[in-house]
Amino acid sequence: MSLEHFQARPVSRLNRLSVRILSALLCKLSPGLRRLLAFGLGYLAFALGIRRHISLENLRHAFPEHSARERRRIARAAYGHMFLSALEGLCGHVLKESTLMELRNWQLIEEELSSKMQKEKGEGVFIASAHFGSWELMAELIAARGIGVAAVVRPLAGAFNARLFEARREAGMELIHPKGAVRRMLRAFKAGKLVVQLVDQSLSAERAVFVPFFGRMTATAPALSMAAISAKAPVYLVLSERISGGMRVLVEGPFMPELTGDNKRDIAKHLGQITAALEAHIRRSPEQWMWMHRRWKVPYGLDASVFSQKDS
């Protein structure tokens, strides 16, 4: 699928060229300067009030026990981490050789792949992830290890996002459009790839499963759980926590879906387990999650497991 399918609006050649030049300059910065720039831009965006109310309101619901001052500190830091993730995504081709990647429980993924090779199944692994830590760079570093990666990504507007899509493709990642995602996810899984979806994005009520997330029922994309149930395969939660000098890749699982025959129940329960594990990690390092996202914008209806086959 061409990169144009992942652009919400066409990008002019001039804008595309300008971003390429800017990206090349940013990638020449030292890691310290890059971090300083990212957090400077983050603090500026927070000071200007860009999605500040959304961030603070999300944190108020998630951490009512924290003081307003502490929630503002977390929010400001989250802006810096978001900008740094964007810069890491642009400069992955430079950083993949120098970034420390500490692996926690990565053997779970390797054992899953090895087991399937021994059984001559040749299948991959389903991975749930989130906008947490160095999420952009993590996928590129994993792909650099010679492991095929296929990621479900939403179309986004702007030349900067277009360059991010190009960087992902250049790193060797397969990009999967949300429309018809389950079918393409299964195809990539059967080809032996790590199939990744970020499970912390909002979705329209008619296409979502509602699961608890920080005490509120939250519209969540069901495609990964749908694919796992179809393949009768587990899902692993893989997150990238930013640490001094690099990242710590955290692996949790397996999350094996139940197969009771009641798809709505099985999908909701499976997705709820993954989301609960994700919440626990965010609670430990809240400043590394993207609080400015309107995660709870879709109101919860009467049915806690509404989903549609439109994503299949």
Which of 196, 218, 227 is closest to 305 using CA atoms?
218
Q: Quick check: 205 and 224 in contact, CB under 8 A?
A: no
Task: Quick: pLDDT tens for 288-305.
Answer: 999 999 999 998 864 444
CB 240 within 8 A of CB 132: yes
Query: pLDDT digit string (tens) for 213-259?
Result: 999 999 999 999 999 999 999 999 999 999 887 888 999 999 999 99
Element (H, E) at 172: none
The helix (H) or strand (E) run that includes residue 58 is helix 52-62
Name the pTM for this structure.
Answer: 0.88
Q: What are the boundaries of each domain within the chain?
A: 3-311
